[in-house]
Amino acid sequence: MEMKRLLPALLLVAGVSARAADRILILRAEGVNFQETTRSLEHELGPEFQCEDRVLGSGMDAGVLSVAIAKSRPKALVLMDNDAIKLYAEVQKQWRDSVPYPPSISLMAIRVDKAISGLQRATGIFYEVPGVTILVNLRSLVSEPVRRVGVIVRPSMEDFVRESAKWCKYENIELIPFSVPEDRKDVARAVRQGVRRLRDQEQVDALWILNDNFFLTPEIISGGWLPALERFRKPVLVGVENFVTARSRFGTFAILPDHYGLGVQAAGMILRLKEEEWELDGTGKVEQPLAVLKILNLEQARKSVHVKEAGLVEVDKVIR
């Protein structure tokens, strides 16, 4: 049976009288961070809401998700990870206009604004912390000036860097991009070239590494970033906690969304949705993360800059 015919039939089987009010369907990837955000969301919403937690796996496809939505009849979906967003987009494509789409809140996804651009009745929370937030916090931690900051970027992320550069300019910080074509064969080599140029020719004061999986594969990290950063001798800013661990030779300072805080923020968006009778005001709007974690690898930092001891009280986790 075609999906367009199947869904209304399932809705009738579920029954209009079934208790479906205030039910939230969570579709997420596996992992500790996703679990933490889910627990936070459920705790913040409380018993007034019934959350159905579904984890992406080998058996989850658009057909399975469609059936789950038809049976659950959620007031809204929470989509965690780009794969969850893509799956719901496929469901909407198959449904077409056969039934109303439940509104969705997307989070913990790379460039969530672009990811939800094809969804109807969609909103979300950025996973990327604004560059100006990261750089201003770094400046408050170190004695050396932070005026020129290098960033290696591919064309599809250049709009994000341009927007970041606009806000950094207000803080007298200039972003210096080094562009790598998306069809470049040897990306690891391009990363080495980019770091070398930003260090020697542009003489940047720091390097900002974007949360972009294009540049963060194990092969590119081991063959590109790590060899290049051994001679960089400047602060390296990242958005992943694993990159500033005690054993890591990668990052100096990380600011990333607080995963518990993301759940609290998403719960607040759901409560507002309920007040608006589950109608979104302005589809496609994406919020900045309200709560962040600041992590400093102090040993790595002291290799390149003088750290202000007084500034350490503003850091959530100091790795000594």
Q: Could you read off the pLDDT of 257-289 as tens digits, one per residue?
A: 999 999 999 999 999 999 999 988 666 789 999
Cβ neighbours of residue 221 under 8 Å, at least 6 residues apart?
250
The tokens of 312 are what?
Answer: 């350490």
What secondary structure letter does DSSP report for 57?
A: -
Q: How far is CA 207 from CA 65, 133, 174, 196, 239, in A?
A: 41, 14, 12, 11, 12
CATH architecture of 131-256+293-319: 3-Layer(aba) Sandwich (3.40)
**Average pLDDT over all residues of the chain:** 90
Burial 27-60 (b: 16+ CB within 10 A, else e): bbbeeebbebbbebbbebbeeebbbebbbbeeeb
The secondary structure element, H or E, covering residue 162 is helix 158-169
The sign of the CA dihedral 168, 172, 173, 177 is positive
Total count of residues recorded for the chain:
320
The 76-80 sheet, strands edge to edge: 50-55, 23-28, 76-80, 104-107, 122-125, 286-287
Q: What percent of the chain has pLDDT over 70?
A: 92
According to the model, what pLDDT value does residue 118 have? 85
Domain 3-127+259-291 in this protein, CATH class: alpha beta
Confirm whether pTM is higher than 0.75: yes
Q: What are the tens digits of pLDDT across the range 70-114? A: 888 999 999 999 999 999 999 998 887 666 789 999 999 989 999
According to the model, what pLDDT value does residue 99 have? 67
Residue 222, number of CB atoms within 10 A of its CB: 11
CB 308 within 8 A of CB 142: yes
CATH 3.40.50.2300 in the chain is located at 3-127+259-291, 131-256+293-319
Instruction: Indicate if the pLDDT at residue 296 is higher than 90.
Output: yes
